[in-house]
Amino acid sequence: MSQPSSRIQTLLPLAASALVAVALYELVTIPAGLEARRGFESRALSVGHVLALSLGVAVQLDDARTVESFLTAAAAEPSLSYAVVRKPDGKALGGYRAERAPVRPELLGMAPAAVEDAGLRHLGLPIIDGKERVGWLQVGFNLDELSRTLTATRIAATLVALVAMGLSAALFSRSAANRRRMLQQIATTSGQLRATSVQMVSSSSQQAAAASEHAAAVEETRRTMQSMVESATRIAATSREVLGHADQSVMGAQAVSQAIRTLAGQAEKIGDISELIRSIADKSDLLALNASLEGTKAGEAGRGFSLVATEMRRLSESVLGAAREIKSLSSAIRSASETAERSVLEMRTSSERTSGSVREISRITEQQREATEQVTKSMNELGGVLVETGSTIRRTEESASALLRLADALTQLTAQVVRRSAQAQAGGAEK
Amino acid sequence: MRLLVARAGEDRFAFESLQLVTILPWPLETALPWGSLHALAGLTAEEPEPRAVVGRSSGGTPFALRVPGPLGEEDAGDVLPVPPLLGAPRWVRGFILTAEGGPALLLDLPSLGDAVLARTPPSPLPEAPT
C-alpha cells in the first residue's frame, strides 16, 4: 500500500514544476480570446476526465493526502469552483472547496453526467481503478470564469498541469487497461498542448507584425494630424489678417461714401448757384435788350446808349453760357456721385460679406484645429498603447515559445513512459 | 433799320424795333392778349426760353407775342416785298436778308396785333410753366 504513495510523492515535484509553468503562463494574457461558449464544455469535461483517471489508485488506497494534492493541483484551472471525491458509500475522501458542492444524486451514476444551475456547470464522473468503480468525482466549473479565461495560454497551462498529473497517476496505476487508457488520453492531451503552443507562437508573431504595422500607421496619422494643426493655425492667422483688411475696407468705404455724399451736396449747391447766376444773366439780357430798344427809339441821341446795351447783352449771354455749362457740369458731378456711391455701397456690402465669410472660416478652422489636436492627442495615447501592446505580445511570444519547448519535452516524456510501459507489460507477459 | 430777330424752327422772323413797346419776361405778369410765334409758324412745340414781345395793334391796344429766345439784334437795309403769288398774310411786311445771309420775314406788329386780338379776346394771365 505504501509503495504507490511513495511513487506519487516522488512524482509530485514534476507536477509542482508543471504548476509553476501554469502560474507563469497565467500571467500572460492574449488579447484575442477563443470562442468561449463552444469550447468550455469540452474543456471542463477534459479536465474532469483526466482528474478522474488520475485519482483511481489514490481513491482505491483511501489515500486522502494524494487526493488533496491532485485536487489542489487541479485548482490551477481558474474556473474550477469546487471538486469533491466520494467513496461508493457517499463519504467524502477529499475535496477542494467541497462545501460548495451541492447534493445532486443524479450526478453519482455509472456514466458521466452534467447539469447546470446558478452559473455553475456540475460534472459527476465515476472513478475507475482497473474494472472497479471505486468512487465518484464531483466537480463544478464557474461558467462566467470559464468563458472569460478561455484563452489559448490558460488552456495550455491547464493542460500542462493535467498532463503532469496524468503522468504521475499513470505510473502507479495497477490496471494495465486503465494505464493504457490514461496514457492514450495523456498522449492526446500532449498533442493538443503542442498544437495550441504552435498556434500561439504563430498567432503571436502575426499579432506582433500587425502591432508593428499599426504603430507605423498611427505614427503616420499623428504626423499628418500635426501637419493639419499647423496648417489650421496658419489659416487662422491669415484669416485674422484678411478680416482686419476687410474691416478696414468697410471703414474706408464708409468714409468714401460720406465724402461722395458731401461732394454731391456741394455739386447741388453749385447747381443752385449757377441757376441763380443764369436767372440774373437772363434778366440782365432782358434789361439790356430793352435798353437797346429805348436807345433805338431815342434816335441819334440814343445810339451810344444802344451800343452800351448791346455790350451788356453780350456779357449777359456769355454769363448765361457759362452758367449753362456750370449747371451741366454740376449735373454730371451729381450723376457721377450717385454712381460712385452705389459702387461704394456695393463695395461695402461685398467687404461685409467678406468679413462674414472670413469670420466663418476662422471659426471653422479653429474648431478643426481643436478637433485635430484632440485626434493628435488620441494618436499619441494610442501610440503608447500600441508600444505597450507590442511589448506584451513579444512577452507572449517568448512565453509561447517556452511553452512549445515544454510541450515537446512532455510529448517525449509521454512517449518514453508509453514505451517503457509497453516493455514492462511485455516482460510481465513473458514471465 | 434796327431789327429784332427771333428764330422759330428753321425760319427766322424780324420785328422793327421802333414798333416794339417793350420786351417782358415769360410768363407775363400783366394781363395782356397774347399770341404765339410758333403757332403762327405752324410749330406745335412751345417756344424755348420764351420772352414776350409787346406791341400795339393798329387801334393802339397793347398785346404780347410769345417768341423763342435768345433774341438777336441787327441793322438791316432794304425790305424786299413778298411776291403776291405767295399769298402772304397782311401782317407780313416783306423779307430782309440778315447778316448771316439768310432771309427773315419782317412782321408788321400792328397788323399782327389786330390778328391776335381778333383770334383771342383779352385773356387772363397765362399759367406759369411747371
A125-154: per-residue pLDDT in tens? 888 776 778 899 999 988 777 655 445 556
How does the average pLDDT of chain B come out, rounded? 87
pLDDT score, position A70 = 80
Name the range with the highest mean pLDDT among A23-37, A194-208, A304-318: A304-318
Closest CA to A73 of A21, A149, A25, A128: A21
Q: Do the beta carbons of residue A213 and residue A363 sit within 8 Å?
A: no
Spatial separation of the C-alpha atoms in residues B37 and B30, rounded to whole Å: 19
Residue-wise DSSP of A188-209: HHHHHHHHHHHHHHHHHHHHHH
Give pLDDT, residue B54: 96
Which positions in chain B touch A293 (Cβ < 8 Å)?
A: 4, 17, 20, 22-23
Most confident of the following: A7-21, A70-84, A212-226, A262-276: A262-276
- The answer to whether the Cβ–Cβ distance between B17 and A297 falls below 8 Å is yes
A10 has pLDDT over 90 = no
More confidently predicted of A256 and A429: A256
C-alpha cell at A41: 464544455
Distance from CA of B22 to the nearest CA of A (A): 6
Mean pLDDT to the nearest integer, A259-287: 90
Whether pLDDT at A19 is above 50: no
**Which one has a higher pLDDT value, B19 or A214?**
B19
Give B17 to chain A, closest Cα distance, Å.
6
Nearest-angstrom CA–CA distance, A95 and A86:
9
pTM: 0.48
Which one of A283, A296, A313, A315 would you mutate to disrupt binding with B, by most B Cβ within 10 Å of its Cβ? A296
Residue A431 has pLDDT above 80, yes or no: no
Best interface-test mutation with A: which of B1, B15, B17, B26 has the largest number of A CBs within 10 A?
Answer: B17
Judged against a pLDDT cut of 70, whether residue A2 lies above it is answered with no
Q: What is the mean pLDDT of residues A6-15?
A: 48
- Cα–Cα separations (whole angstroms), residue A76 to A72, A126, A147, A234, A272: 8, 22, 16, 61, 113
Predicted confidence at residue A186, as pLDDT, reads: 65
Reported as type and span, the H/E element at residue A397 is helix A303-430
Mean predicted confidence (pLDDT) in A5-10? 49
Q: Can you give the pLDDT at residue A155?
A: 56
Interface subset of A 281-310, CB within 8 angstroms of B: 282-283, 285-286, 289-290, 292-293, 296-297, 306, 310
Phi, psi of B4 (to 5 degrees): -110, 130
Shortest Cα distance, chain A CAs vs residue B86, angstroms: 32
Instruction: Give every CB contact of residue B106 below 8 A, 6+ residues apart in sequence.
Output: B3, B13, B14, B15, B16, B79, B92, B93, B94, B95, B96
- Of the two residues A187 and B108, the one the predictor is more confident about is B108
B98/B6 Cα distance (integer angstroms): 11
Element (H, E) at B95: strand B92-97
SS3 (DSSP) at B64: strand
Please choose, from the candidates A218, A198, A208, the residue with its C-alpha nearest in 3D space to the C-alpha of residue A404: A198
Is the Cβ–Cβ distance between B75 and B3 less than 8 Å? yes
What torsion do the CA atoms of A356, A359, A360, A366 make, to the nearest 10 degrees? 180
CA distances from A82 to A94, A127, A335 (A): 11, 17, 105
Please give the angle made by the CA atoms of B104, B109 and B111, to the nearest 5 degrees: 110
| pLDDT, position A25 | 41
For residue A85, what pLDDT is reported?
93
User: pLDDT-derived band of residue A12, with 50, 70 and 90 as boundaries?
Assistant: very low
Pick B73's closest partner by Cβ from A282, A292, A297: A292
Lowest mean pLDDT across A41-45, A380-384, B119-123: B119-123
Lowest mean pLDDT among A42-56, A211-225, B20-34, B89-103: A42-56
Verify whether the Cβ–Cβ distance A282 to B25 is below 8 Å: yes
Please indicate if any CB of chain B lies within 8 Å of the CB of A348.
Answer: no
- The domains located in chain A, with CATH, are 2-174 (3.30.450.20), 214-388 (1.10.287.950)
Kindly tell me if the per-residue pLDDT of B65 is higher than 90.
Answer: yes
Name the residue of chain B whose CA is nearest to A298's CA: B18
Higher pLDDT, A235 or A19: A235
Candidates B53, B73, B75, B109, partner chain A, best to mutate (most A CBs within 10 A): B73
Tell me which chain B residue has its CA closest to the CA of residue A314: B72
More confident residue, B110 or A49: B110
**Closest residue to B2, CB basis, from A282, A296, A317:** A296
Mean pLDDT confidence for B19-36: 92
Beta strand B103-107 with B22-25 is: unpaired
Tell which residue, A143, A28, A154, has the closest CA to residue A79: A143
Side by side, the strands of the sheet bearing B34-36 are B22-25, B51-56, B62-67, B34-36
> Is B23's CB within 8 Å of A310's CB?
no
pLDDT at A142: 85
Residue A190 has, within 13 A of its CA and on its CB side, a CA count of 26
Nearest to A101 by CA among A78, A129, A120, A74: A120
Residue A327 touches chain B, beta carbons under 8 Å: no
Q: Does residue B44 contact residue B9 with C-beta atoms inside 8 Å?
A: no
- Taking an 8 Å cut-off on Cβ atoms, the answer to whether B18 and A297 are in contact is yes
**In the predicted model, is pLDDT for residue A410 greater than 80?**
no
Nearest CA in chain B to A285: B70
Q: CA-to-CA distance for A225 and B55, rounded, in angstroms?
A: 101
Q: Which of A48-62, A103-117, A129-143 is predicted least confidently?
A: A48-62
Q: Hey, is B46 helix, strand or coil?
A: coil
The average confidence (pLDDT) of chain A is 76
Q: What is the predicted pLDDT for the residue at A391? A: 76
Q: Which residues pair with B104 in a beta bridge?
A: B96
pLDDT at A263 over 80: yes
B chain contacts of residue A289, beta-carbon cutoff 8 Å: 4, 23, 71, 73
The shares of helix, strand and coil residues in chain B, as percent rounded to the nearest 5, are 15, 35, 45
Which residue of chain A has the CA closest to B72? A289
Segment B91-119 shows an average pLDDT of 90
Nearest residue of A to residue B25 by CA position? A286
Task: Give the per-residue pLDDT at A232.
Answer: 82
Res A225 pLDDT > 90: no
Residues in chain B whose Cβ is within 8 Å of chain A: 2, 4, 17-18, 20, 22-25, 49, 51, 70-71, 73
What is the nearest CA distance from A310 to chain B, expressed in angstroms? 8
Which value does ipTM take for this structure? 0.84
Listed range (A35-44, A180-189, B107-116) with the worst mean pLDDT: A35-44
- Whether pLDDT at A290 is above 70: yes
Q: Once rounded to an integer, what is the mean pLDDT over residues B10-24?
A: 93
Residues of B in contact with A286 (CB under 8 A): 23-25, 51
pLDDT digits (tens, 9 = 90+) for A346-401: 888 888 888 888 888 888 888 888 888 888 787 778 777 777 777 777 777 776 77
Residues constituting chain A: 431
Is A160 exposed, middle or buried, given 0-12, 13-18 or 19+ CB atoms closer than 10 A?
buried
The grid coordinates listed for A349 are 456690402
Residue B73 distance to chain A (closest CA, Å): 8
On the question of pLDDT at A27 being above 50, the answer is: no
A-to-B residue pairs, Cβ atoms closer than 8 angstroms: 31
Which residues share a beta bridge with B51? B25, B67
pLDDT tens figures, B83-101: 877 778 888 999 999 888 8
Q: How far is B53 from chain A (nearest CA, A)?
A: 10
Helix ranges restricted to H, chain B:
37-40, 109-119
